[in-house]
Copies of this chain bind each other. A is one copy, B any other.
Amino acid sequence: MNEKLFLRNPEDSELGRKIISNSIQLINKIGFEAFTFKKLATEVQSTEAGVYRYFENKHRLLLYIVDWYWSWQEYRLIFHTHNLNNAEEKIKKSIRILAAQVEDDIATDYINEKILCEIVMSEGAKSFLTKHVAEDNKAKFFKPYKDLSARLAGYISAYNPKYKYPHSLATSIIEMAHSQKFFMQNLPSLTDFTNAKSNRTVNSFLEDMTFAAISPGN
């Protein structure tokens, strides 16, 4: 994790891990706007000042958990595509990972990936939609997202080196995987998906669109 994101590394102490764990729960429960360090302090049974020793402000904390999520997704992507030997399969697997319903990974005891995924869906964009994107970018706060996007773009270029928009397409796949899930849950008329098991899934929408776009003719 980027060390500039925190004042004290939350991984290194019990309190730090409780801060991360309870932040994820609390942000998901009340939303990022209503989330305050005071409320979080109550949850972790510490004080406001105690939380401020770990994170400068709540936006940094959001960046931390969002970065954690993207790093984790890239790790999963590497792990699951590692043994695949052609670009087509790698792209398909990547889309499946990104569009899938995330389940909690018990290997990480203080982070609930399922809830974290919900947060990234509904609060993730707020990590970069600020007046200080430029500084945050300079501080490399968006590196995990960029790395993931670049990796997928790499697979796209490997599949079709002539395709002109590998980065934009990769970023769009990642964005749409989350936004379509958000719309499906909250503004379903903006999508063609229902919660019921259907063959019209975010995954097949993205897969169809991607391969149509990058098919060797293009």
Q: Which residues of A contact B (CB under 8 A)?
A: 30-31, 33-34, 122-123, 125-126, 128-131, 133-134, 137, 142, 145-146, 149-150, 164-169, 171-172, 175-176, 179-180, 182-183, 186-187, 189-193, 200, 202, 205, 208-209, 212-213, 215, 218
B175 touches A179 (CB 8 A): yes
**For residue A29, which residue of chain B has the nearest CB?**
B131
- A187 to chain B: which residues have CB within 8 Å? 128, 133, 137, 142, 146
Ranked nearest first, the 9 interchain pairs of A and B with the lowest CB-CB distance are: A31-B131, A212-B212, A171-B190, A209-B213, A212-B213, A165-B205, A133-B186, A168-B191, A165-B192
Residue picked from A190, A212, A218, most chain B C-beta under 10 Å: A190
A200 touches B164 (CB 8 A): yes
A190: contacting residue among B30, B34, B146, B190, CB under 8 A: B146
